[in-house]
A = this chain, B = another copy of it.
Amino acid sequence: MKRFAMYPLAGIAILILGGFAGIAGSRAQTASDEPQFTNGNRLVRPANYRDWIYLSSGLGMTYSKQAGVPELFTNVFVAPAAFRAFQATGKWPDKTIFVLEERAAQSRGSIVQGGHFQGELAGLAASVKDVKRFEEKWAYFSFSAGDSSAAPNPRARCWQCHNDRGAVENTFVQFYPTLKDIAQKLGTYNQEKAANESGPK
């Protein structure tokens, strides 16, 4: 079974962080929206990502024919300045940072009798674009519960598939409807990569 992200409270998920362009948006940029590092290339766990721009959610997304168990919700956020730059150019500025949040899926509770809604935090991951810091430009980080920082994941774990299959640079814009429209309009959407159905080995 291969899932995009791992088990509840293991906090192993896929993220993309990066740098910021000085583009004004409806939210003021704050220093804490930029990726922060400690002890070399360890990414400090992003504190305020729930204030960032929401991109999309999935439920139980998997690139295996076998469903992931348990199915988790995945919510993706990107820092506001990176989003504003993407809106203008269809590309990610240096120091772009993404966060992928995993949450438990609940099916019963209060008036809900069917379908799924979100519960407790189950994992957190991030990705960063930093062309000076990382030879391969993008790096991926997984935070277990309680981790205040994380080292970059090995290239084979996240980077390779993001690089081979991401519609825009190393990012899965094919799964973010509002970004997909922008990238297609601005000519930065790689349809060939996005259409490739083979997941990571």
Binds B, one of A37-45, A105-113, A130-138: A105-113
Which residues in B have their C-beta under 8 angstroms from that of A58? Answer: 115-118
Nearest CB on B from A189, distance (A): 12
**The one of B63, B114, B167 that contacts A113, using a Cβ cutoff of 8 Å:** B63
Does A68 sit at the interface, judged by CB under 8 A?
yes
For the complex, what is the distance from the CA of A75 to the CA of B178, rounded to whole Å? 13
**Contact, CB under 8 Å: B118 / A57:** yes
For A110, give its contact among B118, B120, B197 (CB under 8 Å): B197
For A48, list chain B residues within 8 Å (CB).
Answer: 26
Contact between chains at A115 and B174 (CB < 8 Å): no
Number of copies: 2
Residues of B within 8 A of A110 (CB): 165, 167, 172, 174-175, 194-197
Measured in the bound complex, the distance between the Cα atoms of B26 and A33 in whole Å is: 9
Other-chain contact of A178, B27, B50, B67, B198 (Cβ < 8 Å): B50
Tell me the nearest residue of chain B to A73, going by C-beta.
B57
Q: Are A113 and B50 in contact (CB under 8 A)?
A: no
Q: Is residue A159 within 8 Å, beta carbon to beta carbon, of the partner chain?
A: no
Residue from the set A58, A105, A111, A114 with the largest chain B CB neighbour count within 10 Å: A111
Q: Is the CB of B63 within 8 A of A111?
A: yes
Distance of A40 from chain B, by nearest CB (Å): 28
Tell me whether B56 and A118 are in contact (CB under 8 A): yes
Given known contacts A50-B178, A110-B194, A175-B118, A26 and B26 CB-to-CB distance under 8 angstroms: no
Answer whether residue A9 sits at the interface, using C-beta atoms and an 8 A cutoff: no
